Structure 1
Amino acid sequence: MSKNVKRLLSFLLVVVLAVGVLLAGCGNKNSSSSSSNTSKQEQTATNSKDPQNLHFKSDKPLEFTMLYSDHPNYPYKEDWLLWKAIKDATNVTLKLTIVPMSDYTQKRSLLISSGQAPEIITKTYPGQEVPFVSSGAILPISDYIDQMPNFSREVKEWGLQDLINSLKQADGKFYVLPGLHEINVPDYALAIRQDIFDKNNIPVPKSWDELESALKKLKEIYPNITPFSDRWQGNALLNVAAPTFGVAGGWGAGTGMYYYRDKDEFGFYPATDDYKNMLTYFNKLVKEGLLDPASFTQSDDQAVQKFVTGKSFVIMTNTQEIERMKTQMDQTLGKGNYKVTRILPLAGPKGAVMPDSRLENGIMISAKAKEDPNFPQLLKFVDWLWYSEAGQTLTKWGVEGVTYQKVNGKFQLMPDVNYMNLNPSGTKNLQKDYGFSGGVFCLLYGGPKDLAESIMTEEVKNYTNEVNNTFKYLPPAPPVLFNESQREQANMLSQPLMDYVSQMTLKFITGVASIDKDWDSYVQQCKSKGSDQLTKLTNDVYKSTKDKIK
């Protein structure tokens, strides 16, 4: 080969390599995350303090559709700073289908069933996705988790895999992206009139038995008052109490199935002695005039009015509701004339236990989203906004210098902004006026521990730490991977069965039915309504499919 030919070949090789480099540098400029853009993001992430917190920003404007639950306490506004902040950070505009919160569940079902659901379907609690799985209307999002580094990191680092596994369906996949918490933040517990307890030298109860003793003393001192009158039709009360008795109840009543880990099998808990013991306890409080029987039927407002006017001294509450009650009591009793304390959850016969509740409402992705040419960018957008610390900070706190500032490394609302009474002198509201800290985009105490604690008062932070240091969290029950026909059969059994259980629970607690005389008949009725068939079906499916859970 001549020297000239060699020179020519060398020259052509250099040209080919140069063009290849040029093309690699240009990439596809219609992609929201081009090769060069992605590499820059990855390089930035590698050099950052959080190497896994990959930022997403499209190099061209994108629009995704989203179902939005409109909260009456902070109604939607088109000019909220939230929308601009999201677009500035990601170059994404959200086209919203806005539905009042009161109609959200029904409207969501109609939209999904008709194939008209937006791409991003928010405010979906684990379990609510199940009716839409068999139709193929929503994506098995577990197929795409490898494209969601922030979600994957949180699940791994926070030890959430068992909880994620509990979301799996018959095909071994899961269909909802839940909201994630690094730490448990128990929100529902009893509030007491601490000033009344202190005045009468009554110790703050730490168990259900100690609560009974405290209520008896209050009844002796205030014979014309029923000391405990509850709200939420007793559903929060039974939901919190049930695990300490070894069962489920209230909002967490479920299908009637309870997983017994020592036997590795499910049983129908409403017919057990443990459930009977729980009903006996609350029935005793009612019989002795310590617990208002109206607790299970009255409206929330009626229950709250009794507490804020001094006609009761104990009520179920949560972080936000206790602040609302204090505001009302400033008017009814006067500032400085009362003291309200949210006490630690109470221990029961099974000890100081509660379920691990670090999954919350999250997102479904419509199956048609996969047809969007920008589907990979949609996944990156969701992953960043809902699961990166930067995205969670944006949706919770807003824009630095406008809604918040950092003072000595700590978040602080700007002087003119208020939220949850963190800055009472603020004239603008973080939710109502700016759109941040809304339930569609962020969880009150979700995300990383530091971010969750950033919105807490010292009182709430201390309370959370004390509960986490005192209580044992129960591992989740494994999922039962029903196929469509099995699930339909289970629902046909469980729904009328649990309607009956709910009716009899109320009757047993309030004394309309006698636990001593009517319990055996109740258990037989449960059997006749299918409790044994439900138990057998559940265990048969569980044992034949549990290998898919790993």
Structure 2
Amino acid sequence: MGKGLKGLKSTFSVLALSALVVAGCSNNETSSSEEKNVNQKGAMESYNVGDTFKSSEEFDLSILYMDQPTYPYKEDWLLWDHIKETTNVTLKPTIVPLSDYPQKRSLLISSGDAPLIIPKTYPGEEAPFVASGAALPVSDYMDKMPHFKEKVEKWQLEDELKGLRQKDGKFYVLPGLHEAVWPDYTLIVRTDIFEKHNIAIPKTWDELYTAMKKLKELYPDVTPFSDRFTFNSTLNIAAVNFGTKAGWGFGNGLTYDESKDEFVPTATTDEYKELLTYFNKLVEEGLLDKESFTQEDDQAVQKFVTGKSFIINGNSQTVVQHRTDMDKTLGEGNYSIAKITVPGGPAGDLMGGSRLENGVMISSKAKESEYFDAILQFIDWLYYSDEGQEFTKWGVEGTTFTKAEDGTRTLVEEVNYNGLNPAGTKDLRIDYGFSGGVFAYGGTTDLLRSMMSEEEIKFQEDMANRKTTVPAEPPIPYTVEDREQVTLLSTPLKDFTDQNTLKFILGERDLSEFDAFVKELEGQGLQQYVDLANKTYKDANK
């Protein structure tokens, strides 16, 4: 009897335990299901390539907005209204002036007050916010962003994205994606002056030197070349064809040597010295204005548009602005200017650049939002779908532009954009908010060229036909600790390089002291910096 009761008790215990296990599984499944759905409020159940995102309910979304002085923020832009109408999302911008954007962005992120969407973030600018966990590891959520994923695969951008990956193998910024490399900055020249004196438009930097020598003889009171952007853009475009990096493109100060499969310090190379020697010659012979390195942009522009210089660096937008100014200063029909194909150099006819553009960093706080999936779908549609990219660039079909059966887009009669429809009385950016720097980046070559003048398309075609794209360099995925060390080393090294680059070009330091300059860099920890980079690179590729 006792044995039977004991056996019965054991049977009940097993049944009870089984019930608990079943109940536990059921509760876990429920909990898991609830957790799965907690971030899906407003998200579309089916969202694929070609779909227009529309939240199932209205919600507000905070965004950092860089305010351009040439087309300042307006609350009543059609841009905002149409975004809300199309997606059910009301963007709530935190307005930050262009001049303060990087600093203000850092302060807002560090204080925990940053909006959830942080656009206008260039690849590399997200790195300081990785260790703190402030930036979302967006690579974890590619499956929720079909348009981004599709363009990466279709345009074979995987190798370029590798350069964004941190030590943990993830990337923390969604870059703008271009179908192809496209150059914008080059030299703008007074083509009428060149033609008047039968001077050929230069195709190499050596030919530019010869042309400027001739101009100086003809116009002894004019310094042929007076530049803007504190000469950083010119150094950038020239460096590529000298086989090095400088100016805006100096980056981390390292250049990958494929033959050695290692990184070398850029500023110590023969190619960098050759670049400095060339521009020092221009300064010494009075062909390049010394003030190019220190003057405000407006000062350089005034010299160019009033005939006190004949060459300046610029892009497709600045050439239009210069024409507007020169119509007033020199008189319409009394001049002609044009962008020239970037001159070739000792390294050949190369085209530097990347297919990755500035893009979007997402605050890690977005993960806590009940609308998290909807936020990812919204960003994916607005920044990476063909429809969203056309919308942020051209505006609303029937209101700001029309579209023909063959896909050709045309601004409506009253709307102007960058000289595309000069008779228009309203500006696409100023009056409507489209084609601004916060949204309209990336896309197909067709979309990119759809807003270009015939002159600009010709420049793009010339560059594409004549140049060979410089391949992307392999990534250096530092650990959090190493990145701090890298920052401590690289900042003073770059500052010292910038100072001496200027001195060498201006002749304030003789180029015979270049070897001494290299030793001074080594004394400031250059070798330690290079060794750390190469160790990280080698370890990552074992």
Conserved 8 A contact 2:183-2:353: no
Q: Give the equivalent residue in structure 2 for 1:132.
A: 129
Question: Which residue of 441, 446, 449 corresponds with 1:450?
Answer: 446
Shift of 1:54: 2.6
User: C-alpha offsets along residues 350-371 of structure 1, whole Å, 9 cap, x if unaligned?
Assistant: 1111323211111011111001
Secondary structure, counterpart of 2:124 in structure 1:
coil
Conserved 8 A contact 2:67-2:73: yes
Shift of 1:546: 2.8
Shift of 1:254: 2.0
Q: Give the equivalent residue in structure 2 for 1:414.
A: 412
Counterpart of 1:411, as a letter, is: R
Q: Give the equivalent residue in structure 2 for 1:153.
A: 150
Question: Which residue of 176, 192, 197 corresponds with 2:173?
Answer: 176
Name structure 2 gaps, 5 residues minimum: 1-36
Q: Give the equivalent residue in structure 1 for 2:333.
A: 336
Q: Give the equivalent residue in structure 1 for 2:263.
A: 266
Counterpart of 1:476, as a letter, is: A
Q: Give the equivalent residue in structure 1 for 2:438.
A: 440
Q: Give the equivalent residue in structure 2 for 1:13.
A: none
Counterparts of 1:236 and 1:324, CA distance in 2: 18
Conserved 8 A contact 2:232-2:247: yes
Counterpart of 2:105, as a letter, is: R
Shift of 1:428: 1.2
Secondary structure, counterpart of 1:535 in structure 2:
helix
Q: Give the equivalent residue in structure 1 for 2:462.
A: 466
Is residue 72 from structure 1 mapped to residue 74 from structure 2 by the alignment? Answer: no
Q: Give the equivalent residue in structure 1 for 2:42.
A: 32
Counterparts of 2:285 and 2:72, CA distance in 1: 45
Secondary structure, counterpart of 1:168 in structure 2:
coil
Deviation larger for 333-342 or 157-166: 157-166
Counterpart of 2:486, as a letter, is: A
Conserved 8 A contact 1:54-1:149: no
Q: Give the equivalent residue in structure 2 for 1:535.
A: 530
Conserved 8 A contact 1:355-1:476: no
Shift of 1:34: 4.8
Q: How many residues align?
A: 504
Counterpart of 1:506, as a letter, is: L
Is residue 497 from structure 1 mapped to residue 493 from structure 2 by the alignment? Answer: yes
Counterparts of 2:394 and 2:253, CA distance in 1: 40
Counterparts of 1:101 and 1:282, CA distance in 2: 31
Secondary structure, counterpart of 1:440 in structure 2:
coil
Shift of 1:262: 2.0
Counterpart of 1:111, as a letter, is: L
Conserved 8 A contact 1:82-1:395: yes
Shift of 1:183: 2.2
Deviation larger for 214-223 or 384-393: 214-223
TM-score under structure 2 length normalisation: 0.91
Conserved 8 A contact 1:238-1:249: yes
Deviation larger for 132-141 or 114-123: 114-123
Shift of 1:189: 0.3
Counterpart of 1:81, as a letter, is: L
Counterparts of 1:546 and 1:62, CA distance in 2: 44
Conserved 8 A contact 1:32-1:59: yes
Conserved 8 A contact 1:406-1:412: yes
Counterpart of 1:538, as a letter, is: A
Question: Which residue of 416, 421, 428 corresponds with 1:423?
Answer: 421
Conserved 8 A contact 2:43-2:371: no
Would you identify which runs of 4 or more consecutive aligned residues in structure 1 move more than 3 Å? none
Q: Give the equivalent residue in structure 1 for 2:192.
A: 195
Q: Give the equivalent residue in structure 2 for 1:515.
A: 511
Q: Give the equivalent residue in structure 2 for 1:22.
A: none
Counterparts of 1:161 and 1:182, CA distance in 2: 13
Counterparts of 1:299 and 1:119, CA distance in 2: 35
TM-score under structure 1 length normalisation: 0.89
- What does 1:224-263 align with in structure 2 at a 5 Å threshold? 224-263=221-260
Secondary structure, counterpart of 2:541 in structure 1:
helix
Q: Give the equivalent residue in structure 2 for 1:14.
A: none
Counterparts of 2:266 and 2:57, CA distance in 1: 55
Counterpart of 2:299, as a letter, is: Q
Question: Which residue of 104, 116, 128 corresponds with 1:119?
Answer: 116
- What does 1:329-368 align with in structure 2 at a 5 Å threshold? 329-368=326-365
Question: Which residue of 214, 218, 226 corresponds with 1:217?
Answer: 214
Q: Give the equivalent residue in structure 1 for 2:82.
A: 85
Name structure 1 gaps, 5 residues minimum: 1-26, 43-51
Counterparts of 1:176 and 1:397, CA distance in 2: 25
Q: Give the equivalent residue in structure 1 for 2:302.
A: 305
- Judging changes above 3 Å, is the alpha-carbon distance between structure 1 residues 138 and 207 closer, same or farther for their aligned structure 2 residues? same
Conserved 8 A contact 1:190-1:342: yes
Kindly, what percent of the aligned residue pairs are identical? 54
Shift of 1:294: 1.4
Conserved 8 A contact 2:44-2:54: no
Shift of 1:31: 4.0
Is residue 58 from structure 1 mapped to residue 55 from structure 2 by the alignment? Answer: yes
Q: Give the equivalent residue in structure 2 for 1:526.
A: 521
